[in-house]
C-alpha cells in the first residue's frame, strides 16, 4: 500500500488554515465590528450577518455540483481571487459611506460576494478528499492533519486578531480605529492566500468523468446510501456539542468561575494544548477501534469533562478541578473533531460508488450545510438559555445533551459504519 508523504498531507491540509481563519474571524468579529466600530443598528447588522450565512449554506450544493462537473481545483482557482478581496471589503466597504442605508447595502453586497468566493474555495477541496485519501484509515490520518490547521486558525482568530488590533490602540476594542481593523483584515487575507499556495502548487486533481446527475437528485439520493443520513445526524450532534460549549465558555468562566481575561486565556490555552496533543491518539483509536467507536469514546469523555466543570464552585477561580475539566475537554474535543470529519469522505465515496458518478462535491456539501446549520443552532440555543436567566452552570446543558445524543447515535451506528464505508 502506498503511503502518502507528510509533505503532501500538509499541502492538502493547509487550506483548512485559510478557510477556518476567514470563517472564524467573520463569525467571531464581524458583527461586533459592524455594530460598535461602524455604528450600524444591531438589528440590521444582525440581519446582514444572518442573511449572509443563509446564502452561504444554500450555495454549498450548487458550488459542489459546479465543481463536480467542471473541475474542483479549477473552481478553487476561480474562487480565491473572489474571496480574498471580498473579505477585505467586508471591513472596508461600509467605511466608504456615511449614511446607514448605503453602509448596510455595502456590507450585504460584500458579504454575498465573499460567500460565493468562500464556498468556491472550501467545498471543492473537501470533494477531492476521498480520492486523495482513498482508504478508510488514511482519511482518519488526513482528518487529524486538517484539524491541526483548523485549531491553529481558531487560535489566531480568537486571540491574535483582537491582540493585533489592541496593539495599535491603548483603548478597549470598541474604541479602536476602523482603519486598524481593515489593516488587520488585510494581514489575515495575506495569510489565508499564502495557506492555499502549497495546495495549488502540490496537489493535482485526478482525471474523472463529468457529473450528469442533478445536484438535488444526488442530495436526495443520500437517503438510500447505507448509513449516510444517520452519519449526517451524528455529525450535526457533534458540531452542536463543540460549538455550544465554545459559545458558552466566556459566560461560564467569567460569571460562574470568576476568571478575568488573563485566567480565561490560560484555561483556553490548556484546552487548545490538550486538543493538539490528542490528535495523534485519536488517529490510533480510529485505526484500532473504528471511527464510530472512537467518536463514542470522545463523547463519553466530553460528558465526564462537563460533569467536572459543573462541580467547579462558583467564583472559585483557578483550581485543580477546573484544569482537570479543561484537559479532558481538550482531549475529547480532538476526538469530536477528527472522527466526524473523517467520516465525510467515507460517505462521499460510498455515495459516488452507488450512483456511479463522481458526486463527492455534492455529497460533502450536505455535511457543510449541516455544519453551518448546527453552528447557528448552537449559538441560538445558548442565547435562548441566557435569555431565560438560567444559572450559569445550566449553559453546560446544551453541550451535555448534544454529547449524550452523539453517544446514542454512535451506539446505533456501532458495527455498521466501518463495514459500510470501508
Q: What is the pLDDT along the chain (422 residues), one digit of tens a residue?
A: 567 788 999 999 999 999 999 888 887 778 778 888 888 887 787 777 777 777 777 888 888 888 888 888 999 999 999 999 999 999 999 999 888 889 989 988 998 899 899 989 988 898 888 888 888 888 889 988 998 998 888 888 877 777 777 666 565 666 778 888 898 899 999 999 999 999 999 988 877 666 667 777 777 777 777 788 889 999 999 999 998 887 777 777 777 778 776 677 788 888 888 998 999 999 999 989 999 999 999 999 999 999 999 898 888 888 899 999 999 999 999 999 999 998 988 888 888 888 887 888 888 888 888 888 888 777 777 666 666 665 667 778 889 999 999 999 999 886 544 444 44
For 146, 357, 358, the CA distances from 214, given in Å and listed in that order, are: 30, 11, 12
DSSP 290: -
Domain with CATH 1.20.1250.20 in the chain: 1-208, 214-422
Which among 176, 137, 179, 86 has a CA at the least distance from the CA of 421?
A: 137
CATH of 1-208, one of 1.20.1250.20, 3.10.105.10, 3.20.20.450, 3.90.1300.10: 1.20.1250.20
Instruction: Tell me whether residue 183 is exposed, middle or buried, using C-beta atoms within 10 angstroms of its C-beta: 0 to 12, 13 to 18, 19 or more.
Output: middle
User: Helix or strand or coil: residue 317?
Assistant: coil
Q: Return all residues near 99 (Cβ < 8 A) that are at least 6 apart.
A: none
We find that the CATH architecture of domain 214-422 is Up-down Bundle (1.20)
Amino acid at each position: 500500500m502506498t503511503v502518502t508523504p507528510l509533505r503532501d498531507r500538509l499541502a492538502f491540509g493547509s487550506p483548512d488554515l485559510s478557510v477556518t481563519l476567514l470563517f472564524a474571524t467573520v463569525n467571531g468579529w464581524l458583527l461586533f465590528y459592524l455594530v460598535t466600530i461602524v455604528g450600524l443598528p444591531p438589528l440590521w447588522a444582525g440581519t446582514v450577518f444572518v442573511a449572509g450565512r443563509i446564502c452561504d449554506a444554500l450555495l454549498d450544493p450548487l458550488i459542489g455540483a459546479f465543481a463536480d462537473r467542471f473541475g474542483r481545483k479549477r473552481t478553487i482557482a476561480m474562487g480565491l481571487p473572489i474571496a480574498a478581496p471580498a473579505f477585505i471589503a467586508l471591513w472596508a466597504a461600509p467605511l466608504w459611506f456615511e449614511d446607514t442605508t448605503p453602509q448596510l447595502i455595502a456590507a450585504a453586497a460584500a458579504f454575498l460576494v465573499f460567500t460565493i468566493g468562500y464556498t468556491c474555495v472550501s467545498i471543492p477541496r473537501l470533494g477531492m478528499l476521498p480520492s486523495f485519501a482513498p482508504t478508510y484509515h488514511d482519511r482518519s490520518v488526513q482528518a487529524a492533519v486538517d484539524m491541526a490547521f483548523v485549531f491553529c486558525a481558531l487560535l489566531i482568530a480568537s486571540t491574535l486578531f483582537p491582540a493585533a488590533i489592541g496593539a495599535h490602540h491603548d483603548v478597549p476594542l470598541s474604541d479602536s480605529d476602523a482603519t486598524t481593523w481593515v489593516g488587520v483584515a488585510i494581514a489575515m487575507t495575506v495569510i489565508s492566500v499564502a495557506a492555499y499556495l502549497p495546495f495549488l502548487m502540490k496537489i493535482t486533481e485526478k482525471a474523472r468523468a463529468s457529473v450528469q446527475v442533478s445536484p438535488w437528485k444526488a442530495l436526495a439520493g443520500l437517503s438510500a446510501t447505507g448509513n449516510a443520513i444517520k452519519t449526517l445526524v451524528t455529525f450535526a450532534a457533534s458540531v452542536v456539542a463543540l460549538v455550544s460549549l465554545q459559545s458558552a465558555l466566556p459566560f461560564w468562566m467569567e460569571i460562574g468561575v470568576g476568571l478575568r481575561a488573563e485566567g480565561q486565556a490560560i484555561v483556553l490555552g490548556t484546552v487548545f494544548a490538550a486538543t493538539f496533543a490528542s490528535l495523534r491518539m485519536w488517529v490510533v483509536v480510529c485505526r484500532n477501534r473504528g471511527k464510530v467507536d472512537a467518536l463514542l469514546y470522545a463523547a463519553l469523555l466530553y460528558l465526564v469533562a462537563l460533569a467536572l466543570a459543573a462541580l467547579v464552585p462558583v467564583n472559585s477561580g483557578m483550581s485543580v478541578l477546573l484544569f482537570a475539566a479543561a484537559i479532558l475537554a481538550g482531549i475529547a474535543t480532538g476526538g469530536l473533531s477528527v472522527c466526524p470529519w473523517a467520516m465525510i469522505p467515507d460517505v462521499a465515496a460510498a455515495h459516488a460508488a452507488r450512483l456511479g458518478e463522481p458526486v463527492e462535491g455534492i455529497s460533502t456539501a450536505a455535511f457543510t450545510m449541516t455544519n453551518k446549520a448546527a453552528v447557528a443552532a448552537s449559538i441560538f440555543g445558548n442565547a435562548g438559555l441566557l435569555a431565560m436567566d438560567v444559572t450559569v452552570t445550566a449553559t453546560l446543558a446544551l453541550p451535555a445533551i448534544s454529547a449524550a445524543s452523539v453517544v446514542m447515535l454512535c451506539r446505533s451506528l456501532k458495527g455498521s459504519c466501518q463495514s459500510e464505508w470501508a
